[in-house]
Amino acid sequence: MSVPPIIDFRERIAGEESAPDPDKVISGTPRTVVSNRYVEPSAQFFAGDWASSVGKWKVAYGEHEFCHLLEGRVVLKSDDGQEWQFGPGDAWVIPAGFSGTWETVEPARKHYAIFEQAKS
Tens of pLDDT, residue by residue over 37-53, are 999 999 999 999 999 99
DSSP 3-state percent helix, strand, coil across the chain (nearest 5): 0, 60, 40
**What's residue 49's pLDDT?**
98
Q: What is the pTM of this model?
A: 0.92
**What's residue 4's pLDDT?**
84
Q: Which of 98, 103, 23, 24 is nearest to 56 (CA)?
A: 103
**What's residue 2's pLDDT?**
86
**What's residue 119's pLDDT?**
75
Q: Which of 32, 23, 68, 26 is nearest to 47 (CA)?
A: 68
User: In the chain, where are the structural domains located?
Assistant: 16-115
For the segment(s) 16-115, the CATH number from 1.20.1070.10, 3.65.10.10, 1.20.20.10, 2.60.120.10 is 2.60.120.10
pLDDT beneath 70: ranges in the chain:
120
**What's residue 120's pLDDT?**
67
